[in-house]
Structure 1
Amino acid sequence: MREAYRQILQETGDPDFAKAVATYLAFGLDFLLNNTSVLCSWHVTGEKMRSTFAGHHLHMVWDYAEVNPFSEATGNWQAGVEWVIRYLTRESRIPQTGSVHLGSAAALPFPEKFFDAVVIDPPYADNVPYADLSDFFYVWLRRTIGDLYPEAFATPLVPKDEEAVVNPARFGGGK
Structure 2
Amino acid sequence: MRKRIGAAMVGLAVAGTTLLATGSASSHGYTDSPLSRQKHCANGTVTNCGDIQWEPQSVEGLKGFPAAGPADGTICAGGNSRFAQLDDPRGGAWPTTKVSSGQNYTFRWTFTANHRTTDFKYYITKNGWNPNQPLTRAALDPQPFLTLPYNGQQPPSSLSHSGTLPSKSGRHVILAVWTVHDTANAFYACSDVQF
Report the structure number with the largest CA radius of gyration: 1
Say which structure is richer in strand: 2
Q: Same fold (TM over 0.5)?
A: no
Relative contact order: is structure 1 or structure 2 higher (C-alpha 8 Å, sep ≥ 6)? 2
TM-score if structure 2 supplies the norm length?
Answer: 0.26
Scaled by the length of structure 1, the TM-score of the pair is 0.29
Greater fraction of residues in helix: 1
